[in-house]
Amino acid sequence: MNAPSRMAGQAVDEPGGSPPFTATASPGFTAWLTEHRCSLAVSTYQAGKLFFFGAQPDGRLWVFNRSIGKCQGLTVHNSSLWVSADSQIIRFTDAVAGQPTAEQGPDALYMPRTVYFTGDVDAHDMAVAGDGRLMFANTVFNCLAAVSAERSFDVVWKPSFITQIMPEDRCHLNGLAMKEGAPACVSLLAPSDKRDGWRDRRADGGRVIDVGTGETLSDGLSMPHSPRYHGGMLWLHNSGTGEFGYVDRPSGRFQPVTFCPGYLRGLSFLDGFAVVGLSKPRGSKTLSGLNLDAQLERHKLNPVCGIQVIDLQSGKAVHSLSIEGVVEELYDVAILPGRLRPSAMSPTTPEARHMIVL
């Protein structure tokens, strides 16, 4: 059996660096990435990092990170990687088009190309619509929004119970699922119309709502995240219970597929696999005190921060990657097709001033 692949790292664009972290991949994780010729982009607002995990030619784990403040939502469209970052949404484009810069070096260099200044909207899930416009879950203003060249954002849709577009995070609208290039549904933590009202119903107030009809597709959820349509089914995380599953139609009931040892956020699909992100819930006021704690105790598992690859047919986690150190919470996971060893430049790094691409 192959030994786990491990790599330690630290910030590469901060004066003096930062405390280290360690990423450890299960046997077969890098082989799986190589087989599917892809890598993963992972965001963490808690540590303000954009991570890339891939595979080196000798099978070792590739790890690259950049500091991007309050890094949350991710989405990939063609050669672009969109990242929500504090008060901005940034579009990165691969400057080397997947061609390796050296035998052992990166085969992608994501450089900032477009920045939308949204203000403090706490942008969560993002996706590019069929017309090329970026849509995002505008959590502070309780709506689905689109980037704008003239305004901080354009309101695309809001739940019917939200009476005003106000910066009050009333329902914690966080998730966005697309279908045929258009917004299909959103997830939120509770149908509240008062400031921070969702916090009183963290355990069972979650809903998934159809954008086109306003119909509630599923309710009674515990802090749902990352709704995605794949294979004709609506998948999501029931994060407060640690369960990944799907919404049964037409009953609207959430059907668990597998329990994961952490607070679930971030979901991407590749062939018959789901790639999910996990966070450590303990120590966080928002994430602690949920049924997830009892589930971890029942399964006799400690919470982990990292990634799991789940076989959709069996429901089993077939590959995993754990992160230890300063990073304890992740938000999103995106698959980068055709790139095995990606890298990036932060908009604030000195190198970005001198890198000219023709």
Dmax (CA) of the chain: 58
* Residue 264 pLDDT: 97
Mean pLDDT of 263-281: 96
Q: Which residue has the higher pLDDT, 283 or 232?
A: 232
How many H helices and E strands in the chain?
Answer: 3, 27
Cβ 52 vs Cβ 41: under 8 Å: yes
Residues 6+ apart with CB under 8 A from 205: 189, 190, 191, 192, 198, 221
Q: What is the mean pLDDT of residues 91-113?
A: 82
Mean pLDDT confidence for 184-195: 98
Tell me, what's the pLDDT at 262? 95
What pLDDT sits at residue 351? 73
Confidence at 6, pLDDT banded by 50, 70, 90: low
Residue 16 has pLDDT above 60, yes or no: no
Ramachandran angles phi, psi of 322, nearest 5°: -110, 145
Q: What is the DSSP string of 87-114?
A: TEEEEEEETTTT--SSSSS-SEEEEEEE
Lowest mean pLDDT among 227-231, 234-238, 262-266, 325-329: 325-329
Six-digit token string for 221: 């959820």
Closest C-alpha to 81, from 120, 46, 119, 112: 112
Q: How far is CA 129 from CA 135, 158, 232, in A?
A: 7, 17, 18
CATH number at residue 39: 2.120.10.30
pLDDT of residue 5: 65
pTM of the model: 0.92
Q: What are the angstrom distances between the C-alpha of 97 and each of 89, 217, 262?
A: 22, 40, 35
Buried b (16+ CB within 10 A) or exposed e, 220-235: ebbbbbbbbeeeeebb
Question: Which pLDDT does position 275 carry in this prediction?
Answer: 98
Look over the chain and give the mean of its residue pLDDT values, rounded to a whole number.
91
94 vs 19, more confident: 94
d(CA 161, CA 57): 53
- Can you tell me whether residue 297 is helix, strand or coil? helix
Alpha helix positions (H), the chain: 29-35, 291-299, 351-354
Confidence (pLDDT) at 3: 56
d(CA 217, CA 110): 37
Place of tokens 């047919």: 313
| Least confident among 1-10, 227-236, 250-259 | 1-10
pLDDT of residue 7: 60
Specify the pLDDT at position 329. 94
pLDDT exceeds 80 at position 283: no
Q: Is the pLDDT of residue 101 over 70?
A: no
Statement: residue 20 has pLDDT above 90: no
Residue 287 has pLDDT above 90, yes or no: no
User: Rounded mean pLDDT of 319-339?
Assistant: 95
If one counts the domains in the chain, the total is 1
pLDDT reported for residue 99: 64
Between 302 and 1, name the one with better pLDDT: 302
* Contacts (Cβ under 8 Å, ≥6 apart) of 315: 257, 258
- On the 0-12 / 13-18 / 19+ scale of CB atoms within 10 A, 271 is exposed
DSSP β-ladder status, 342-344 and 108-117: parallel
Residue 244 structural domain: 5-354
